Structure formats: structure tokens, C-alpha cells
């Protein structure tokens, strides 16, 4: 969310500077008709001495959008010259007294002590030391000695400690800015003194200093002369005070505090108000309709509060309104159509509320509208075609609503549109080919709708397009080869960096023109009906980070060059196709590959040792092929490997585990099922799987590094269900060795894997007893030992497994009473069938009345460490569960200075498949 905050700051900055001429310029006029007096000697000395207190440090002043480019103003100060001509120094013409000192953004670094010669400049009227680094200086009491000071600005210059009472002794002060000194503290008594004493004050900015001790009622004492009051991020809290006496206020910024209660309707007395920022507080109740009488209001920014009710229709009277920013509240009802009469409106941002009904068609009158963001509401109906007349619009975000119908073809008139986000609605029909005339369009996201028909070939004209995401629709036809011509006219370079057409009905071959998009970073064409071979021309895409062609009907050989064509490649997913031949042998040193998935093809031969060059590999899934090989010990060198899936191939031979320590220490999922492995279970590895021994409470999902919307997926058998895990929780741990020819006993070392959730050893030839140390696996949710040759009793210790939901020991040679209590009361006959000697619930009572009960329930509870449970799993990667709020921001440069492209929060992104076992 940090980027969002940044965006908010950026906006407020923009608005403030574009539309609020601070009115602060103080009168320092020169009288050109009389000869100015030169600088007074003592003051010249004081300045030179002051200068010597500091060093120039290149990082002492920030240079961002809030500040001009810093430079060392004091470097022009030379002894023996008239100080009135020095950079940053202003003198009174008649007397030559230094009355102004502006050393803002001057790269000064050093400490200001109370003996500093600065305090000898008694005549100062204006002092600006903002944006330097005063090395955690205190604001010393001597700052209170400038009797004629009207302007004091120490913002963002690394002062800390208490603000001294003496600041309130500056009787002439008109403007005071101490903001952005993050470790400054302002106490209640001093604040009260300040507000009572400084009766001339017009501008007060104490943003981002610690005022947590100041009660909101103190604000009621502020001088009614104030025109600008900024107390953003001051840790203020409590009920909103009545400040209706501040009737001259033009700007009021109380954002990022903890104010609660309602917005007082007495705000209507602030008739001059031009900017009102109350965002990011805990304000609740309705927005007072009286705000609609603030005729001068230009910016109303109330996002991130708890406001409810409707937008007052009186807002239609705010004829000067430029920005209406109400996102992330609980507002509801229809959006009043009166807003359509706000001719000056440029930003209308209402996302994250509960608005319903349709978009008023009157919005077509908002000729100045630049940003229309209504995403994540409950709006419905058709998108009014009148929106096509918003000639200034650069961003339209209507995603995550219930809109239906088609995209109005009038959208082809939105000549300034840079971003069009309509994903996650019920839109249908064909995508209008008129969109192809949006010359400024840089990102087009239509995923999760019901669009059908073909992808318009006119999209080849979108020369600025960076992101095209059409996945999860019903688009058919072929991928238009014109997409390959998406090149910026200026550079002849491809502009497209992100292309996702997955989960549609696209057929035919992948047009080779796509492989000419040299800047493409993400190419996702998975889950379509694409056919044919993938030509080695794909390797011309040497900026690719993600290549996902999975779940199509592609065939032929996998181009050898894919092993080393792009230094950036982190995801290579070709699973569920019809590729044959051998696995690439060309993985090169320095590979960035993190995810490699060839599951579900017809690959043969061996695993090439060059895979061990992919030292960043986290996931390797080669399951469901025809690989005929012994266990690939060389993978042990992949120290980041978390998931290894080799299931359903023709692997054979022993799995011994090597003598190296800590091999596979990050491994969490180890699936060798349905192969021909033989010999004893890999007891050595059970000692090495450190990641299955510790509890990582930090639940995350595994995904591609730069694209938060791309989640790694693998398919696994979980608790008897074959599931494509569309998101992989880092908490999931599993060992599946079922369906092999393992022999011998279950080793005791398996009991060390305390965070293991799923263990399947079924369909082998295991002998001996069920290892009682399995009772240590206190997080186990599924234990399948069925179809082996196990003998003896079911150990009573298994009752410690309080999360166990699936338990299978059927088809062994077990005997004796089944343990009772806890989870064992929930398993039915099928768990036990095919064992001649078992008895007790749910089977028949034991002949001799023998029972196995746990010793004490306390012991059991102390064993269970962290719950996970089926529900948690399905919520994590469940069908249709929204994929979380994590939004990646990608920055692109386009027409506007900098754009923040919100990447998608896709839903049902990559589907969940379930087959009954």
C-alpha cells in the first residue's frame, strides 16, 4: 500500500501546486528608485560564521517532487563582498540590515547550537532553512528571539526533540512551517501557548511531527486569522473539534490522523475553503450535505475513512470542484447524477465503496474529467455510451463491479485515454475494434468478463500499449498477428511488455510476429486451444521474465534455446501440452529461473544435469511425463528448491540420500509418487528436510518476483483430491512417495518432520509396524499408509494428530484395537478395510473388550502447534476467492509525467481443478 500513499501524496502535491496559490508571498519589495545600502559589517560576519558551522553534503537535501533541485547557495558567499548580493540573502534597502535568509535546499549539514551566529541577525523577517540536514539539532530557544520574524520555515531538515515554548514568542509570525521533522515533539501546553500567542498567524504547517499528546479541543483555540492549516500525520486523535471560527481557512489538511466521529456540519462556515483533506482518519457517519454550500471548494479528499450513507446531491452545487476523492469508505446508494454538472471536475475517485445502480449518463458532461475511478463497488447496468465524450480522460477504472452489456464503441473517441480497466465485470459481446484508435492507450485490462468473438486486429495500432490482459474471457479465433506490430513509432521498439491472453478459447498457432515484441517481459497464453510447434524464434524474446504456454495442445520438441535465451527468465511453464522429445540440456550458468514446469507432456529420456545451473530454482515440476531415469541427486545442490515433483514417470532405482549435509533443506513438497523407485524409504533425506521441521508462521504465497499477479501453480494430490494449486502457500508441506516399490520399515526419522501436513506412503511394499514417531507430526492433516504390508497395532500416539482429517491404513495386515478419541472418532470403515485383525470403532467391538485410549488430553493439546485445516487451504487458493489485495504497481512513462499502473487483482485467475480420486 505504500505506493498508494505515495500516490496520494503525489496527488495532493499536484493539486496544491496547480490550484492553490498559497497567497503567502510576503512583501520584500525593492525600491529601485533609491540606491540600496550595502550589507552591515557585523551581519556579514555573522553570516560567514554561520556558513562555517556547516559542511556541504550531497545527500543533505532531498530532491523529489516536493523540492526544487538543491544546490549549495552558500558557495557564492565571499568575504569582502556585499552580503546583500549573496545567494539567499535579502537586505532592507534603506538600512542594509539582513531581513531575509533563504537557505532552503542548500545541502547544509551540521548542528545548530544555541551560540550560533544565526541568532545575531536580529532584523530577520523571513527565515527559510527547509530541506537541509541539521543532524538532529534541537530547535533551540534562541529561535524565539527574532522579534520581527514573520516567516519561519524549518521543514524537513532533521530537527528533533521538543519544540520550545520560545517559538510562541514570535509575535509577528505570519507563517510557521516545522513539518516533516519526524522526531519533533509538540506538547499540549506549548501548542496552547503557540495558538494563543501567535495572533497574526495565517499559515501553520506542523505535519508529520508528533502531536500525540495534543487533544483535539486545543484546535479550537487556533487563531481565526489562519488561512492554511496543515496537521497531516501528527498522531492526533479523538473526536473532531468544532473549528467553525476559522472562517478564513482556504486550506485544511488533517489527513493521516486518528480523528473519529462525524465531519461537523459546521464546516459550512468555512466559506473560503478551497482544499479540504480529511483522508485517512476514522471518521464515520454521513457526509454532511452542508458541505455542498462551500462554493469555493476545489478539492474534497475524504478517502480511507468509515463514512457511510450517500453522496449528498448538494454536491452538484460545488461548481469549482476539481477533485472528489472518496475511495475506501462505506458509502452506498446511487451516485448522484447531479455530479454530472461539475464542469471543472477533473478527478472523480470513488473506488472501494458500496455504490450501486448505474453510472449516471450525465457524466458525459464532465468535459474536464481526467481520472474516473469507480472500481470495487456494486455498480451495475450498462456502461453509458456518453462516457465516450470525455475527451480529456486519461484513466478509466471500472473494474470489480457488476457491469454488463458491451463496451460502448464510442470509447474509440477517448483520444487521451492511457488506461482502461474493465476487468472483473460481466461484460460481454465483442471487444469493439474502435478501441484500436486509442493512440495513447498504454494498458488495457479486460480480464474476467465474458467477451467473445475475436481479438480486434486493430489492436495492432495501439502503439503505446504496454499491458494487454484479456485472460479469463471466451475470446476465440486466432491470436491476431498484428499484435506483433505494437511498436512505438518513435523508437521502433516494441512497447508491449505484458501480454496475457490465458483462459480463452483461442486456437490456431501462435503467430510468429509475437516473437518480435522485443520488450515483452510477460507472455501468458495458457489454457487456450493453441496448437502447433513453438518455433525457436521465441528465443528472440530476450527480455522475458515469464513465459507460460501451459495447458494448450502445443506439440513438437521444446526449443533447446529456451534454456538460456533470457537472463531475466524466472518462470518457464510449458506444462499440460503435448511436447515430446527430451528435456532441454542447455540451462546455463547464471540462470534466474525460479519456476520450471513441464508437467503433463510426453517428455522422455533423463533429467539433464545442467538444471543444476539454475541455482535460483524454487519449483521444479516434471511430473506426468515419460522420463526414464534414476533419482537426480544433483538437484541437491539447488539450495533454494522448495518444491520437487517427479510423480508419474518411469523413475527407478534407489533413493538413498547423499552424505552431504543440509541437502534439500528448503524442500517443502517432495513428490515421487507413481514411479518405480525401490529399496528403503529415503531416511537420510528425512533428516535433511529442515523446512519440514520448523514452523514458518509467515504465511505467503509463492509467485513471480516482479509480477505479484502471477502466482506459481503446481498440481498435487491433496487428501485424496487431485488439485491444481493455483496459489501455493509457503506453509504447505507434503511428502508423497506412494505408488512405488519401496520396501522395509517406516524410518523413525520421519517423526522429525514436525511441520509436515501431508504424508502419503501408500501403495508400496512397506513392512514392520506403523512407526509410533508419526505421532510427533502434530500438524499432519492427511496420513495415507494404505496398501502396504504393515503389521501390528495402530499406535495410540496417532491420537496426538489433532488436525488429521484423512487417515488411511486399509489393505495392510494390521490388528488389534483402533485408537479412540479425538480425530479417530471421525474416520469411517474405509480407512481400515482390508485388515483382517483390526477392531473397535468404527469396526466391530474387539472380542475381549480391549480399547486404546489416549492417556491425557492435555498432552494432546500441547502437541498441536498451528492449525491450517482444509478450510484454510481452500480459502487460500479456493474457487473464485478473490486473490487478495496485494497490488503490484508498475511505473511507466507515457504522456503524463509518471503513471502508476495498477496491476490486476484477478479473480479465479488460474482455475482450481478437482477430480475425485
Give the range of 177-185, 291-299, 370-378, 671-679 binding ligand NAG by CB under 6 A.
Answer: 177-185
Asked whether the beta carbons of 469 and 445 are under 8 A apart, the reply is: yes
Fill in the DSSP letter of residue 625: S
Answer yes or no whether residue 171 interacts with ligand NAG by CB under 6 A: yes
Sketch the per residue contact string, 260 through 299, with ligand NAG: x for CB under 6 A, - otherwise.
----------------------------------------
Of 263, 309, 301, 310, the residue nearest 282 (C-alpha): 263
Q: How far is CA 192 from the centre of its chain?
A: 41
Q: How far is the CB of 448 from ligand NAG (least distance, A)?
A: 40
Answer yes or no whether residue 12 interacts with ligand NAG by CB under 6 A: no
Answer yes or no whether residue 180 interacts with ligand NAG by CB under 6 A: yes
Cα-based angle 227, 230, 236 (whole degrees, multiple of 5): 130
Among residues 185 and 531, whose Cβ is nearest to ligand NAG? 185
C-alpha dihedral (96, 100, 103, 109), degrees to nearest 10: 80
Among residues 99 and 903, whose Cβ is nearest to ligand NAG? 99
Sketch the per residue contact string, 367 through 406, with ligand NAG: x for CB under 6 A, - otherwise.
----------------------------------------
Task: Tell me the pairing of strands 578-582 and 602-604.
Answer: parallel
Of 748, 753, 783, 739, the residue nearest 769 (C-alpha): 748
> Which residue of 41, 52, 78, 113 would you call a contact of ligand NAG, by CB under 6 A?
113
Q: How far apart are CA 172 and CA 64, in angstroms?
A: 32
Task: Tell me the pairing of strands 89-91 and 98-102.
Answer: antiparallel
Give the range of 78-86, 127-135, 852-860, 871-879 binding ligand NAG by CB under 6 A.
Answer: 127-135
Of 445, 405, 410, the residue nearest 429 (C-alpha): 405
Give the range of 106-114, 314-322, 657-665, 834-842 binding ligand NAG by CB under 6 A.
Answer: 106-114
Among residues 180 and 322, whose Cβ is nearest to ligand NAG? 180
Answer yes or no whether residue 31 interacts with ligand NAG by CB under 6 A: yes
Rg (CA), the chain: 35
Among residues 30 and 695, whose Cβ is nearest to ligand NAG? 30
Give the range of 169-177, 234-242, 503-511, 834-842 binding ligand NAG by CB under 6 A.
Answer: 169-177
Cα-based angle 278, 282, 284 (whole degrees, multiple of 5): 90
How close are the terminal C-alpha atoms of the chain, in Å? 42
Answer yes or no whether residue 258 interacts with ligand NAG by CB under 6 A: no
**Residues 6+ away with beta carbon under 8 Å from 83:** 39, 43, 44, 47, 77, 89, 91, 98
Phi/psi at 516 (5° precision): -95, -5
Give the range of 176-184, 642-650, 730-738, 772-780 binding ligand NAG by CB under 6 A.
Answer: 176-184
> Which residue of 25, 33, 829, 856 would you call a contact of ligand NAG, by CB under 6 A?
33
Q: How far is the CB of 576 from ligand NAG (least distance, A)?
A: 49
> Which residue of 40, 106, 130, 150 would you call a contact of ligand NAG, by CB under 6 A?
130
> Which residue of 21, 76, 81, 111 would you call a contact of ligand NAG, by CB under 6 A?
111
Copy the grid coordinates of residue 504. Answer: 480463452
Among residues 155 and 612, whose Cβ is nearest to ligand NAG? 155
Among residues 128 and 448, whose Cβ is nearest to ligand NAG? 128
Asked whether the beta carbons of 715 and 725 are under 8 A apart, the reply is: yes
Asked whether the beta carbons of 673 and 650 are under 8 A apart, the reply is: no
Answer yes or no whether residue 128 interacts with ligand NAG by CB under 6 A: yes
Give the range of 168-176, 535-543, 667-675, 804-812 binding ligand NAG by CB under 6 A.
Answer: 168-176
> Three-class SS string for 839-899?
ECCCCCCCCCCCCECCCCHHHHHHHCCCCCHHHHHHHHHCCCCECCCCCCEEEECCCCCCE
Answer yes or no whether residue 123 interacts with ligand NAG by CB under 6 A: yes
Q: How far is CA 685 from the centre of its chain?
A: 37
Q: How far is the CB of 154 from ligand NAG (least distance, A)?
A: 9
**Residues 6+ away with beta carbon under 8 Å from 365:** 340, 341, 343, 386
Fill in the DSSP letter of residue 218: G
Answer yes or no whether residue 179 interacts with ligand NAG by CB under 6 A: yes
Q: How far is the CB of 677 from ligand NAG (least distance, A)?
A: 55
Among residues 147 and 654, whose Cβ is nearest to ligand NAG? 147
Q: How far is the CB of 188 from ligand NAG (least distance, A)?
A: 14
Among residues 104 and 552, whose Cβ is nearest to ligand NAG? 104
Answer yes or no whether residue 148 interacts with ligand NAG by CB under 6 A: yes
Q: How far is the CB of 89 from ligand NAG (least distance, A)?
A: 15
Answer yes or no whether residue 807 interacts with ligand NAG by CB under 6 A: no
> Which residue of 50, 119, 151, 169 would you call a contact of ligand NAG, by CB under 6 A?
169
Among residues 155 and 786, whose Cβ is nearest to ligand NAG? 155
Among residues 205 and 671, whose Cβ is nearest to ligand NAG? 205
Q: How far is the CB of 71 from ligand NAG (least distance, A)?
A: 14
Q: How far apart are CA 102 and CA 121, in angstroms?
A: 13
Place of cell 496491476: 903
What pairs with residue 357 in β-bridges?
379
Asked whether the beta carbons of 405 and 429 are under 8 A apart, the reply is: yes
Answer yes or no whether residue 155 interacts with ligand NAG by CB under 6 A: yes
Cα-based angle 459, 461, 464 (whole degrees, multiple of 5): 95
Place of cell 512505438: 488
**Residues in 181-240 at the binding interface with ligand NAG, rule: CB under 6 A:** 193, 197, 205
Q: How far is the CB of 29 from ligand NAG (least distance, A)?
A: 7
Burial 548-583 (b: 16+ CB within 10 A, else e): bbbbbebeeebbebbbbbbeebbbbbbbbbebeeeb
> Which residue of 122, 271, 652, 684 would you call a contact of ligand NAG, by CB under 6 A?
122
Number of residues that bind ligand NAG (CB under 6 A): 29
Phi/psi at 367 (5° precision): -65, -20
Sketch the per residue contact string, 624 through 663, with ligand NAG: x for CB under 6 A, - otherwise.
----------------------------------------
Q: How far is the CB of 86 from ligand NAG (least distance, A)?
A: 17
Among residues 171 and 884, whose Cβ is nearest to ligand NAG? 171
> Which residue of 2, 27, 34, 856 would you call a contact of ligand NAG, by CB under 6 A?
34
Give the range of 109-117, 432-440, 617-625, 824-832 binding ligand NAG by CB under 6 A.
Answer: 109-117
Give the range of 26-34, 488-496, 550-558, 735-743 binding ligand NAG by CB under 6 A.
Answer: 26-34
Among residues 145 and 409, whose Cβ is nearest to ligand NAG? 145
> Three-class SS string for 109-140?
ECCCCCCCHHHHCCCCCEEECCCCECCCECCC
**Residues 6+ away with beta carbon under 8 Å from 808:** 762, 783, 784, 785, 786, 830, 831
Sketch the per residue contact string, 35 through 74, with ligand NAG: x for CB under 6 A, - otherwise.
----------------------x-x------x--------
**What is the largest distance, in Å, between two alpha-carbon atoms of the chain?**
121
What pairs with residue 419 in β-bridges?
395, 443
Q: How far apart are CA 126 and CA 27, in angstroms?
A: 10
Copy the grid coordinates of residue 180. Answer: 516533516
Footprint on this chain of ligand NAG (rule: CB under 6 A)? 31, 33-34, 57, 59, 66, 104, 110-111, 113, 115, 122-123, 128, 130, 135, 147-148, 153, 155, 168-169, 171, 177, 179-180, 193, 197, 205
Amino acid at each position: 500500500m505504500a505506493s498508494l500513499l505515495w500516490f496520494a501524496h503525489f496527488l495532493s502535491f499536484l493539486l496544491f501546486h496547480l490550484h492553490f496559490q498559497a497567497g503567502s508571498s510576503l512583501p520584500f519589495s525593492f525600491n529601485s528608485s533609491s540606491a540600496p545600502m550595502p550589507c552591515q559589517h557585523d551581519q556579514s560576519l555573522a553570516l560567514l560564521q554561520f556558513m562555517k558551522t556547516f559542511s556541504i553534503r550531497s545527500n543533505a537535501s532531498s530532491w523529489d517532487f516536493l523540492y526544487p533541485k538543491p544546490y549549495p547557495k552558500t558557495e557564492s558567499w565571499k568575504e569582502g563582498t556585499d552580503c546583500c548580493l549573496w545567494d539567499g540573502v535579502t537586505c532592507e534597502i534603506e538600512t542594509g540590515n539582513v531581513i531575509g535568509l533563504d537557505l532552503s535546499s542548500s545541502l547544509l549539514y551540521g548542528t545548530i547550537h544555541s551560540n550560533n551566529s544565526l541568532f545575531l541577525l536580529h532584523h530577520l523577517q523571513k527565515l527559510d532553512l527547509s530541506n537541509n540536514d541539521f543532524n538532529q539539532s534541537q530547535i533551540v530557544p534562541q529561535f524565539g528571539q527574532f522579534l520581527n520574524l514573520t516567516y519561519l520555515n524549518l521543514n524537513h531538515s532533521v530537527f528533533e526533540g521538543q519544540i520550545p515554548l520560545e517559538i510562541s514568542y514570535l509575535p509577528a509570525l505570519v507563517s510557521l512551517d516545522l513539518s516533516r521533522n519526524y522526531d519533533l515533539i509538540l506538547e499540549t501546553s506549548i501548542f496552547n501557548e503557540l495558538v494563543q500567542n501567535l495572533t497574526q498567524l495565517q499559515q501553520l504547517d506542523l505535519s508529520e511531527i508528533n502531536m500525540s499528546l495534543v487533544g483535539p479541543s486545543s484546535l479550537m483555540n487556533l487563531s481565526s486569522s489562519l488561512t492554511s492549516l496543515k496537521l497531516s500525520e501528527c498522531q492526533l486523535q479523538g473526536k473532531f473539534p468544532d473549528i467553525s471560527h476559522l472562517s478564513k481557512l482556504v486550506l485544511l489538511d488533517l489527513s493521516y490522523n486518528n480523528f473519529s466521529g462525524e465531519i461537523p456540519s459546521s464546516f459550512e462556515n468555512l466559506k473560503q475553503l478551497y482544499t479540504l483533506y480529511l483522508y485517512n482518519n476514522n471518521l464515520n457517519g454521513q457526509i454532511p450535505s452542508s458541505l455542498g454550500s462551500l462554493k469555493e471548494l476545489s478539492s474534497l479528499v475524504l478517502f480511507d475513512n468509515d463514512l457511510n450513507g450517500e453522496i449528498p446531491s448538494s454536491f452538484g452545487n460545488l461548481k469549482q470542484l476539481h477533485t472528489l476523492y472518496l475511495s475506501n469508505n462505506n458509502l452506498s446508494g446511487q451516485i448522484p447524477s447531479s455530479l454530472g454538472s461539475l464542469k471543472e471536475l477533473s478527478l472523480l475517485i470513488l473506488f472501494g465503496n458500496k455504490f450501486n445502480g448505474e453510472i449516471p449518463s450525465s457524466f458525459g458532461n464532465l468535459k474536464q474529467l481526467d481520472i474516473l475511478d469507480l472500481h470495487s463497488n456494486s455498480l451495475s447496468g450498462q456502461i453509458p455510451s456518453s462516457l465516450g465524450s470525455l475527451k480529456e480522460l486519461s484513466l478509466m477504472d471500472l473494474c470489480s463491479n457488476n457491469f454488463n452489456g458491451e463496451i460502448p464503441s464510442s470509447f474509440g473517441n477517448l483520444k487521451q485515454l492511457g488506461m482502461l480497466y474493465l476487468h472483473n465485470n460481466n461484460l460481454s459481446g465483442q471487444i469493439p475494434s474502435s478501441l484500436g484508435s486509442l493512440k495513447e492507450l498504454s494498458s488495457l485490462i479486460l480480464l474476467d468478463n465474458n467477451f467473445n468473438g475475436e481479438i480486434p486486429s486493430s489492436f495492432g495500432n495501439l502503439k503505446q500499449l504496454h499491458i494487454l490482459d484479456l485472460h479469463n474471457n471466451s475470446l476465440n479465433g486466432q491470436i491476431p498477428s498484428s499484435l506483433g506490430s505494437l511498436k512505438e513509432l518513435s523508437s521502433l521498439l516494441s512497447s508491449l511488455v505484458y501480454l496475457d491472453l490465458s483462459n480463452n478459447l483461442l486456437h490456431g498457432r501462435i503467430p510468429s510476429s509475437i516473437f518480435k515484441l522485443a520488450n515483452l517481459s510477460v507472455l501468458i497464453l495458457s489454457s487456450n486451444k493453441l496448437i502447433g510447434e513453438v518455433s525457436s524464434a521465441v528465443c528472440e524474446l530476450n527480455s522475458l521474465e515469464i513465459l507460460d504456454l501451459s495447458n494448450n495442445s502445443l506439440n513438437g520438441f521444446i526449443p533447446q534455446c529456451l534454456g538460456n535465451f533470457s537472463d531475466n527468465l524466472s518462470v518457464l511453464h510449458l506444462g499440460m501440452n503435448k511436447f515430446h522429445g527430451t528435456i532441454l540440456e542447455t540451462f546455463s550458468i547464471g540462470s534466474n529461473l525460479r519456476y520450471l514446469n513441464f508437467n503433463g507432456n510426453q517428455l522422455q529420456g533423463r533429467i539433464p544435469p545442467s538444471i543444476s545451473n539454475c541455482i535460483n530454482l524454487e519449483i521444479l515440476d516434471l511430473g506426468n511425463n515419460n522420463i526414464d531415469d534414476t533419482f537426480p541427486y544433483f538437484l541437491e545442490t539447488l539450495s533454494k528448491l522448495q518444491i520437487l515433483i517427479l510423480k508419474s514417470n518411469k523413475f527407478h532405482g534407489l533413493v538413498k540420500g547423499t552424505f552431504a549435509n543440509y541437502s534439500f533443506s528448503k524442500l517443502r513438497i517432495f513428490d515421487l509418487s507413481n514411479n518405480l523407485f525401490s529399496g528403503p524409504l529415503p531416511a537420510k533425506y528425512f533428516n535433511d528436510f529442515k523446512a519440514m521441521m520448523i514452523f514458518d508462521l509467515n504465511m505467503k504465497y509463492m509467485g513471480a518476483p516482479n509480477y505479484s499477479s502471477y502466482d506459481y501453480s503446481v498440481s498435487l494430490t491433496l487428501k485424496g483430491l487431485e488439485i491444481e494449486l493455483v496459489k501455493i502457500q509457503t506453509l504447505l508441506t507434503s511428502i508423497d512417495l506412494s505408488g512405488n516399490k519401496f520396501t522395509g520399515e517406516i524410518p523413525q526419522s520421519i517423526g522429525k518432520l514436525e511441520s509436515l501436513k501431508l504424508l502419503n506412503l501408500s501403495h508400496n511394499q512397506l513392512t514392520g509396524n506403523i512407526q509410533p514417531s508419526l505421532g510427533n507430526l502434530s500438524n499432519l492433516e492427511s496420513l495415507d499408509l494404505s496398501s502396504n504390508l504393515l503389521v501390528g497395532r495402530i499406535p495410540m500416539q496417532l491420537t496426538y494428530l489433532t488436525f488429521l482429517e484423512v487417515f488411511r491404513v486399509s489393505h495392510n495386515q494390521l490388528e488389534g484395537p483402533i485408537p479412540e478419541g479425538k480425530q479417530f472418532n471421525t474416520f469411517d470403515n474405509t480407512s481400515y478395510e482390508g485388515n483382517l485383525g483390526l477392531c473397535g470403532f468404527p469396526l466391530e467391538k474387539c472380542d475381549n473388550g480391549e480399547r486404546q485410549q489416549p492417556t491425557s488430553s492435555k498432552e494432546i493439546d500441547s502437541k498441536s502447534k498451528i492449525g491450517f485445516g482444509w478450510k484454510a487451504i481452500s480459502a487460500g487458493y479456493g474457487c473464485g476467492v478473490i486473490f487478495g489485495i496485494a497490488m503490484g504497481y508498475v511505473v511507466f512513462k507515457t504522456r503524463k509525467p509518471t503513471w502508476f499502473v495498477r496491476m490486476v487483482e484477478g479473480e479465479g485467475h488460474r482455475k482450481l481443478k478437482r477430480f475425485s480420486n
